[in-house]
Structures are given as structure tokens and as C-alpha cells.
């Protein structure tokens, strides 16, 4: 039970321990509610600690491979065969990066939920589904097998849909969940069809083995189109964004924070397919321009539709669409430049900006949704016209909201500034128009958040609010995310060198990805 054993088995343990806890929670819930809360907290903290240990090892250069059911964890190819035949988990730099995001936001959301859903019914099922969402996210990030990706995608979307409809006594929650579920289901079926197309041609399901033998035939092009459409649908890019405002608004606030991370895991799957599965056999110019256009549309349409909103969470969900556009823009520019010599100068910087923005967005958007949930907990409404003067009684929530608003607008010294500066500088070298549109979107983002802060927190206090701040566990959940925002904002150079650069390097380097599974 020493550190070496833990490091070898950690990819499988990180998926199996929350799964076991998710199945134990309904049984323990019958005995005692306090034991269930303690179990969920212990599991979330354990996942966070093991994830940090694994990420520390992966970022210093070793990719971890885990073959399920073989005679030792690194035996991917059995002795009589020439291709990998079992489910292989592969944790490289980008997987460990996304795993850190999922574990951190799940811990913050779990702590926040202890007080937030205390008065609702059916809490045992809430915590079971929360742990299943974490399993789905970690499974999608660690897997090296295409069909395993589909299965964990479905686990994630079914658990999310059930949690969006958690407040089933309100009609609009179930309606939002139904819309989310139909679109998510269509996307997953398109992914399954594309997996069938690839399997029928090459008789392989392992992503590294497929990347080695991939020829870019007509059927592969159809499969690529289906993958891009389905994963862009799942992450909320325009023009497939219809489900995002409806479902983010009606979910409980901690679940909305996790839904943001779930959308980014679909973004991760899109990048994994484009970079590591297809790699340089793609027509990188065309596909890069498509992803850049999706990014530009998302940025601009998202933020202009956010300005006239009256519902606080609906406004923030349109901003989530717009920030996803930044990530698509950054990594799209990286894809556009990948074979060319300019990649090592500003292409890599664009990819680092896009990938760093994923972590920053999860942190500050999660914090903003948690503060919106705290406001809803106090005044029982989400309409901006019906609330004012909350800064008098909710001082900490106002401070956290201000930090989140400054971070999303890209103001130093918070973390949004660092990633947005990387994107502006590197995208400018490709074409100045992209950078100008990105800066314009950032200005409009600041404008809409000034509107929200003035409307919700400024002014004379409302007459019928209870005095005092929200409960402590909600504050602790928000503090975890705030600490991340401030630390990443004060030391962005360290973060980019040690955390983001290995992730971007792992994404751009398809040969290392194949070598880890087949060569080794």
C-alpha cells in the first residue's frame, strides 16, 4: 500500500471509488443522513487528493497506462496478438489537467450542496447522482478506448438530466431537463454511429491503435463530421446551444457548476478526437477554420444574447456559451497551425491559452453560479428586477461575486486576464480581426456583469429579507474556488509552465500518445 502501488493503480481507483460510494449511498441513506454526508465528503476529498498525486506525477513526464483485467497494468498487447484488446485507460497531460478540474469543482459543489439541498426531499438520490456525474466525467477523461468514451458520456448525460429535474415540483425544471435530455441523447447516438463507421473499417476500438492505421477515407470524413457536430452540440457551441440557457437556469446551483465542467469534458473529447485520433491525416486548414468559426460565433452571439436577460442564472449561462467560444478559438488556431513551422512560436501559445482558459472558466463560472445560488437561497427569486441591496446583509457573497465578475471580464490580477492575454496575443498573429472580436466580447462581458452587480447588490436593502449570510458550508465551497482564482491570477507563469504546458504538449504530440500504448 505504498505510493508506487497507489500511483500505478490510481486511474482505475479514481473511477472505481466514487462508483462504489455511489452504490453504497442509498443503503447508508436509510440508516442515517449524517453518515451519508460524511461518506460523500470523504470520497470527494479522497478523489481530490489522489488526483493531485497522479497529476503531479503525470505533469513531470510519465504517461500512465492501465489495462483493465490484464496480468499487469501496462500489458496492453497480449502475447499472441498485435493489437490492444482490453479496455485501456491512458492518463496523459491533458487528461490529468481535466481530471484536476473535475475533482476540484466536484469537491466545491459537494461542500456547497450540504447546506443548499438540506430542505429538499430525496437527498440520498441527489448525492448518488452527484457521485455518478463525477464518475462519468473522470471516465471520459481517462479512457483510451472509443466505445468506453461513449458509455461514460451516456452515464454523465443521464445523471445530469436526472439532477436538472431535481426540483420536480416546479414545472419548468422538468421541461428544461427534457430538452437537455433529448438533445444530449441525439448527440450520443451520433457519436455511436461514428464509432460504428470507424470500427467497420478498421476493426479497432482503441484510440491509439486507430490513430496508427488511420487513413482519411470518405467514411472517415463522415465520422469526423458526426464527431464534431455531436461534441459541439454537447458543449454548447452556437448553433446548437438551445439547451444551455434552459437547463442551466433550472438546475440547483451546485449542479449548474458541475454542468459547466461536464460541457468542458465534451470539449476535451472533441479535442482528443481531432488531435490524437485523426492528427495530421486531417485537412488541418479546413477543420481549423471550422472550429475557429464555431468559436467566433459562440463568443459573439452568446454575449449579445446575454445583455437583455432578466434572470440572473440565464444571463450567466449565456456567458458560459460565450466563454466556450474563447476555448474553441484558442485551440482552433492551434489546430489550424499544427503542421506548419509557425506552430512552435504562436500556435503552441494559442493552444496554451485555450487550455488554460478551460481551467479558469470552470473556476470563475462555478463561483458565479454558486453565488447566484446563494442569492436564490436568500431571496427565493432569480429575477433581477425583484432584488436589490443584498450587499448589506450578504457581504461575503458580494465579495465573491465581485471576484468572479472581475475574473470573467479579464481584469488583472485575476486568472481570466492571464489566459485571455495569451489568446489575444497569439490569435493576433493569424489574423487581427479575431483578436479584435475577442476584445470586444470581453468589454461587453464586463458591461453585463456591472449591470448584474448594480442590480442585485447595490441600493437600499430589501424589507423582507432575513438578516445574515448564507450557511457556512456554502461559503466554504465558494472559498475553495476563490482560492484557485486568486492563486492562478497571482502566479500565472508558474501555472503555465508546470500545468498547462505539459497538457498542451500532450495534446499536440500524437506520436507520444500512440507510443505510450503500443510502443511501450
Partner 1 sequence: MIYNIPFIVVVLLIIVGLATVVFKRNLIKIVIGITIIESGVNLFLITLGYRENSVAPIYTFAPSTKMVLPVPQALTLTSIVIGVAVMALMLSFAIRIYQHYGTLDSRKIRRLRE
Partner 2 sequence: MSEMSKIVRTISNSLFPFIMIYGLYVIMHGHLTPGGGFQGGAVVASGCALILVAYSSGWVFKKVKESNLSILESIGAIGFISLAFLGIGVTFFYNFIAGNGLLFGEIPPVGPNSGNLNTAGLLPLMNLSVGLKVIAGLFAIVAVMAFVASRRMRKK
Where does this chain bind partner 2 (CB under 8 A)?
Answer: 9, 12-13, 16, 19-20, 23-24, 26-27, 30, 66-73
Stretch that binds partner 1, among 118-126, 135-143, 177-185, 460-468 (CB under 8 A): 177-185
Specify whether the backbone of 459 is left (phi greater than 0), alpha (psi in -120 to 50) or beta. left
Binds partner 1 by CB under 8 A, chosen from 55, 140, 250, 379: 250
Q: 377 is in the binding site of which of partner 2, partner 1, none (Cβ under 5 to 8 A by kind)?
A: none
Please, what is the minimum distance in Å from the beta carbon of residue 433 to partner 2? Answer: 50
Q: 24 is in the binding site of which of partner 2, partner 1, none (Cβ under 5 to 8 A by kind)?
A: partner 2
Q: Does 52 bind partner 1 (CB under 8 A)?
A: no
Q: Does 301 bind partner 1 (CB under 8 A)?
A: no
Binds partner 1 by CB under 8 A, chosen from 65, 133, 137, 192: 192
In this complex, which beta carbon is closest to partner 1, that of residue 161 or of residue 434? 161
In this complex, which beta carbon is closest to partner 1, that of residue 177 or of residue 260? 177
Stretch that binds partner 1, among 31-39, 104-112, 135-143, 199-207 (CB under 8 A): 199-207
65 forms beta bridges with 90
The Cα–Cα gap between 288 and 362 comes to: 24
Q: 283 is in the binding site of which of partner 2, partner 1, none (Cβ under 5 to 8 A by kind)?
A: none
In this complex, which beta carbon is closest to partner 1, that of residue 199 or of residue 491? 199
Q: What is the 3-state secondary structure (H, E, C) of 42-75?
A: HHHHHHHHHHHHHHHHHHCCCCEEEECCCCCCCC
Stretch that binds partner 1, among 8-16, 243-251, 408-416, 492-500 (CB under 8 A): 243-251
Q: 516 is in the binding site of which of partner 2, partner 1, none (Cβ under 5 to 8 A by kind)?
A: none
* Coil/strand/helix, residue 310: coil
Long-range contacts of 305-309 (CB under 8 A, 24+ apart): 306/445, 306/448, 307/444, 307/447, 307/448, 307/451
478: Cβ–Cβ under 8 A, 6 or more apart, which residues? 108, 112, 367, 370, 371, 374, 396, 397, 400
The Cα–Cα gap between 516 and 63 comes to: 7
Q: Is the CB of residue 325 less than 8 Å from the CB of residue 295?
A: yes
Q: How many residues does the chain have?
A: 520
333: Cβ–Cβ under 8 A, 6 or more apart, which residues? 288, 292, 347, 350, 351, 354, 426, 427, 430, 434
* Residues between 137 and 176 that touch partner 1 (CB under 8 A): 147, 151, 154, 158, 161-162, 165, 168, 171-172, 174-176
User: CA geometry: angle at 399 spanning 397 and 403, to 5°?
Assistant: 115
The Cα–Cα gap between 500 and 355 comes to: 7
Stretch that binds partner 1, among 101-109, 136-144, 196-204, 502-510 (CB under 8 A): 196-204
* Coil/strand/helix, residue 466: coil
- What is the binding site for partner 1 (CB under 8 A)? 147, 151, 154, 158, 161-162, 165, 168, 171-172, 174-178, 181-182, 185-186, 189, 192-193, 195-196, 199-200, 203, 205, 245-246, 249-250, 309
Amino acid at each position: 500500500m505504498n505510493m508506487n502501488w497507489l500511483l500505478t493503480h490510481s486511474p482505475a481507483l479514481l473511477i472505481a471509488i466514487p462508483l462504489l460510494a455511489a452504490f453504497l449511498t442509498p443503503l447508508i441513506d436509510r440508516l442515517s443522513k449524517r453518515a451519508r454526508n460524511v461518506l460523500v465528503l470523504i470520497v470527494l476529498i479522497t478523489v481530490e487528493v489522489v488526483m493531485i498525486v497522479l497529476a503531479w506525477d503525470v505533469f513531470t513526464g510519465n504517461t500512465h497506462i492501465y489495462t483493465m483485467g490484464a496480468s499487469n497494468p501496462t500489458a496492453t498487447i497480449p502475447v499472441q496478438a498485435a493489437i490492444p484488446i482490453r479496455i485501456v485507460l491512458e492518463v496523459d497531460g491533458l487528461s490529468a489537467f481535466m481530471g484536476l478540474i473535475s475533482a476540484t469543482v466536484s469537491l466545491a459543489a459537494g461542500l456547497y450542496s450540504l447546506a443548499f439541498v438540506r430542505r429538499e426531499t430525496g437527498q440520498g438520490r441527489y448525492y448518488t447522482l452527484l457521485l455518478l456525474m463525477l464518475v462519468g466525467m473522470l471516465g471520459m477523461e481517462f479512457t483510451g478506448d472509443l466505445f468506453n468514451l461513449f458509455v461514460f458520456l451516456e452515464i454523465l448525460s443521464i445523471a445530469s438530466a436526472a439532477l436538472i429535474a431535481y426540483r420536480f415540483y416546479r414545472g419548468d425544471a422538468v421541461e428544461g431537463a427534457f430538452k437537455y435530455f433529448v438533445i444530449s441523447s441525439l448527440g450520443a447516438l451520433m457519436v455511436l454511429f461514428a464509432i460504428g463507421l470507424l470500427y467497420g473499417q478498421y476493426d479497432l476500438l482503441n484510440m491509439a491503435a486507430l490513430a496508427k492505421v488511420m487513413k482519411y477515407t470518405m467514411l472517415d470524413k463522415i465520422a469526423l463530421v458526426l464527431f464534431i457536430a455531436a461534441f459541439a452540440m454537447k458543449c454548447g457551441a452556437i448553433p446548437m446551444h438551445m439547451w444551455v440557457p434552459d437547463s442551466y437556469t433550472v438546475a440547483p446551483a451546485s449542479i449548474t457548476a458541475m454542468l459547466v465542467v461536464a460541457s468542458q469534458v465534451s470539449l476535451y473529447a472533441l479535442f482528443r478526437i481531432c488531435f490524437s485520433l485523426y492528427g495530421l491525416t486531417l485537412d488541418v486548414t479546413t477543420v481549423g477554420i471550422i472550429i475557429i468559426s464555431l468559436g467566433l460565433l459562440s463568443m459573439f452571439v452568446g454575449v449579445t444574447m446575454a445583455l437583455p436577460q432578466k434572470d440572473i442564472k440565464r444571463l450567466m449561462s449565456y456567458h458560459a456559451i460565450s466563454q466556450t467560444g474563447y476555448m474553441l478559438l484558442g485551440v482552433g488556431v492551434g489546430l489550424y497551425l499544427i503542421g506548419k513551422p509557425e506552430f512552435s512560436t504562436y500556435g503552441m501559445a494559442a493552444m496554451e491559452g485555450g487550455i488554460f482558459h478551460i481551467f479558469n472558466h470552470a473556476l470563475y463560472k462555478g463561483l458565479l453560479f454558486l453565488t447566484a445560488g446563494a442569492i436564490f437561497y436568500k431571496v427565493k427569486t432569480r429575477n433581477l428586477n425583484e432584488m436589490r441591496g443584498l450587499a448589506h446583509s450578504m457581504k461575503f457573497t458580494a465579495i465573491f461575486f465581485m471576484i468572479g465578475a472581475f475574473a470573467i471580464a479579464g481584469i488583472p490580477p485575476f486568472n481570466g486576464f492571464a489566459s485571455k492575454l495569451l489568446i489575444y496575443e497569439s490569435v493576433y498573429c493569424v489574423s487581427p480581426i479575431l483578436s479584435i472580436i475577442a476584445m470586444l466580447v470581453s468589454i461587453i462581458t464586463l458591461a453585463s456583469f456591472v449591470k448584474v452587480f448594480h442590480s442585485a447588490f447595490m441600493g437600499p436593502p430589501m424589507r423582507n429579507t432575513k438578516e445574515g449570510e448564507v450557511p457556512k458550508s456554502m461559503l466554504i465551497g465558494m472559498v475553495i474556488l476563490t482560492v484557485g482564482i486568486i492563486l492562478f491570477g497571482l502566479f500565472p507563469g508558474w501555472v503555465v509552465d508546470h500545468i498547462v504546458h505539459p497538457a498542451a504538449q500532450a495534446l499536440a504530440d500524437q506520436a507520444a500518445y500512440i507510443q505510450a500504448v503500443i510502443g511501450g
